[in-house]
Structure 1
Amino acid sequence: MKKESSVCNCVNIRRASQAVTEIYDGYLSESGLKIGQFSMLRHISYMEPVNVSRLAEKMRLDRTTLVRGLKILEKEGYVADTSDAGTRSRSLKLTVEGHNVLAEAEPMWQAAQKHLEEHMGKDTLKDLVSLLSKLESLTP
């Protein structure tokens, strides 16, 4: 069943974003991670040790949103702050459990990627990413 588009571009883009998020969350469900958590773990893994400001900048998230997500990952035992006591800057690294859950979730994420490629086509996805980058560049 085809869903009717809105006259509002913002609503249409948000709906598409929600649909893609649901797809990735569905593929990742067995790992216990949501796509945002997977992305944070992946970024930390590539950048570790990393401070919150640098991670927020790289992920293009505001610090409040990032810190809220990090609290859950720390509570689950996936991320640890390895900075010296009393310092203001946090130094984030994945724990052994964090590396393990990321490794477990990686093939699930790959399957979600493949699903989108098969249903959208590689060229269409490449064009979509280019268009999304143009949209993102509209803000400072």
Structure 2
Amino acid sequence: MEVNMDRNIFNKKSFSCNCLNVRRASQAITEVYDEFLAPSNLKVGKFSLLKHIYQLGPVSVSDLALIIRLDRTTLVRNLKSLEESGLVRDISIEGSRNRQLKLTDKGVEAYRSAERLWEKAQIFFEEYLGLDNINTLTAILSKIEALVP
């Protein structure tokens, strides 16, 4: 899979605040992934939800929230547009208090189409940073994330 590496790289200065540096990097990563995913009309957050539901489905909202480490209320709000778009549906028995989410056929198609674009974003970052740096970054981010439950 060929990835276009032609991209402006801007000279940015770090701040003395570690939190701000990580937040700025997170915003930049999100923006680049969203650019790669743009032809699919999905942003990386919604793509991630589709990917997890596809891999885990059917999955309860509570389990999905735990797995992706997202507040349940935020998750429900983010799922609403996916359900309204006909990409995700609740297959739980009527009257059940525990929703079971599954991708619709349209959702599977949207996920698979966007997955190729997401893979290009992955390759872009691996080529831009180098695999050793990606592995170091992943280890550091996991260590940081381990600070909270």
After TM superposition, the score normalised by the length of structure 2 is: 0.92
Aligned to 1:133: 142
Q: Within 2, Cα distance between the matches of 1:68 and 1:13?
A: 25
- Opposite residue 35 of structure 1, the aligned amino acid is V
The one-letter code of the counterpart of 1:101 is A
> Which of 94, 116, 130 is equivalent to 1:107?
116
The aligned residue for residue 92 of structure 2 is 83
Distance, in Å, in 1 between the alignment partners of 2:29 and 2:58 is 30
Amino acid at match of 2:67: K
Tell me the secondary structure at the aligned position of residue 80 of structure 1: strand
Structure 1 vs Structure 2: percent identity of aligned residues? Answer: 52
User: What is the distance in 1 between the residues matched to 2:114 and 2:86?
Assistant: 16
Q: Provide the TM-score with structure 1 as the length reference.
A: 0.98
Distance 1:138 1:52 in 2: 24
- Quote the offset at 1:129 in angstroms: 0.2
Deviations 1:48-79 (A, max 9, x none): 11000000011011101111110011011100
For structure 1, list consecutive stretches of 5 or more residues without a partner in the other structure: none
- Out of 24, 33, 43, the residue aligned to residue 24 of structure 1 is 33
Off by >4 Å, runs of 4+ in structure 1: none
The alignment covers a number of residue pairs equal to 140
Q: Does 1:52 align with 2:52?
A: no
Structure 2, unaligned runs of 5 or more: 1-9
Separation in 1 of the partners of 2:118 and 2:70?
A: 20
In structure 2, what is the Cα distance between the partners aligned to 1:137 and 1:106? 28
State the structure with bigger RCO (CA 8 A, min sep 6), 1 or 2: 2
User: 1:3 aligned to 2:15?
Assistant: no
Residue 70 of structure 2 corresponds to 61
Taking the aligned partners of 2:74 and 2:136, their CA distance within structure 1 comes to 28
The alignment's C-alpha RMSD in Å is 0.7
Q: Which whole-Å deviations, capped at 9, do the CAs of 1:77-115 have from their partners, x for residues lacking one?
A: 100001111111001000000000001111100100010
AA in 1 matched with 2:61 = V
State whether structure 2 residue 39 is matched by structure 1 residue 40. Answer: no
Which whole-Å CA distance do the structure 1 matches of 2:70 and 2:137 have between them? 21
Relative to its length, the structure with more helix (as a share) is 1
Determine the C-alpha separation between the residues in 1 that align with 2:143 and 2:46.
Answer: 25
**Shift in Å at residue 39 of structure 1?**
0.5
